[in-house]
Chain A
């Protein structure tokens, strides 16, 4: 028995299953990062001498990373738009760009982390670094996860385009929603940790 509304939308909700599923999941992710932001607020307001972010962290590297991630969001949505235009080749280019830009983000973060660790700034060093590593670390895991899924749709998963192009387009859209969310979190993380 086929599962209904996997691809077709259900008339009264106007949605297919995957769209609802991914938004529900993103709602839970909002609460996950929300808890970490709430912790940041409580710990920072309770601290007698919290440093301003740019005195401890490299805000220029992070600005570059912000630009990288925002660009990857654009390439992601363009990848989906290419599929909507039935241009599979263009989709592959944009999707590859998205994955590569994600990779750039991770490489920059690697350099950031190793710089701090080299200076002895481990998570145990202070609560600033504790929350910094936790927030950016969790975000990084999400970047990596998104990259894996996107790479799958660029590579082996793309076979679905031949069999069921609409379903494939929708799945890319849903993966895109996750990727945009990851960008959204960074848009708030960046000023919070690096500028304030």
Chain B
């Protein structure tokens, strides 16, 4: 019951074998570069002022790739245990439900059209 774990117990995915950690660090640097590039890409694409559906799709795609890199490599999800992945899978499913269903419900209904707000969202005094 001692908390002083035998050294081989504490982590499977990154043991303190120096070569292994060096490999991980190389990956971190590569991911960092990728994230920088993708940041520039997403800002550059936004300058083209594409139509809203296209702009949203591209931006979300890039963000998902970036987020995926952070999750898989910085947060080590790529080598994480099944239990954690299962919890996150469940969470992802409910996340999608939460984002999609209200707007789907709203677009399929008989809502009284709103008058334009007192002051448009774009104005500032």
Contact = CB atoms under 8 A, between A and B. Distances in A.
Interface of A: 1-2, 4, 6-9, 13-16, 19-20, 23-24, 27, 30-31, 34-35, 37-38, 41-42, 45-52, 54-56, 59, 63, 66-67, 70-71, 73-74, 76-78, 81, 84-86, 119-121, 125-129, 164, 166-167, 169-170, 173, 176-177, 180-181, 183-184, 187-188, 190-192, 195-196
B99 A49 contact: no
Contacts of A19: 84
B122 A56 contact: yes
Contacts of B55: 195-196
A146 to B, nearest CB: 14
Contacts of B124: 56, 119-121, 125
B46 A73 contact: no
Given A78-B25, A119-B125, A48 B116 contact: yes
Where chain B touches its partner, the secondary structure class is helix
Q: How large is the interface on B (under 10, 10 to 19, 20 to 34, 35 or more residues)?
A: 35 or more
A23 to B, nearest CB: 5
Interface string B77-95: 0000101100110111011
A166 B7 contact: yes
Contacts of B43: 59, 63, 195
B10 A14 contact: no
B39 A63 contact: yes
Contacts, number: 189
A45 B7 contact: no
25 contacts: A7-B5, A8-B9, A14-B12, A14-B83, A15-B84, A20-B84, A31-B98, A37-B99, A42-B106, A45-B103, A52-B49, A54-B46, A74-B31, A78-B28, A120-B124, A126-B123, A164-B3, A166-B7, A169-B10, A187-B70, A188-B67, A190-B63, A195-B55, A196-B56, A196-B59
B68 to A, nearest CB: 9
Contacts of B9: 7-9
Interface of B: 1-7, 9-12, 14, 16, 18, 21, 24-25, 28-29, 31-32, 35-36, 39, 42-43, 46, 49, 52, 55-56, 59-60, 62-63, 66-67, 70-71, 74-75, 81, 83-84, 87-88, 90-92, 94-95, 98-99, 102-103, 106-107, 114, 116-117, 119-125
Contacts of B16: 84-86
A56 to B, nearest CB: 7
A86 to B, nearest CB: 7
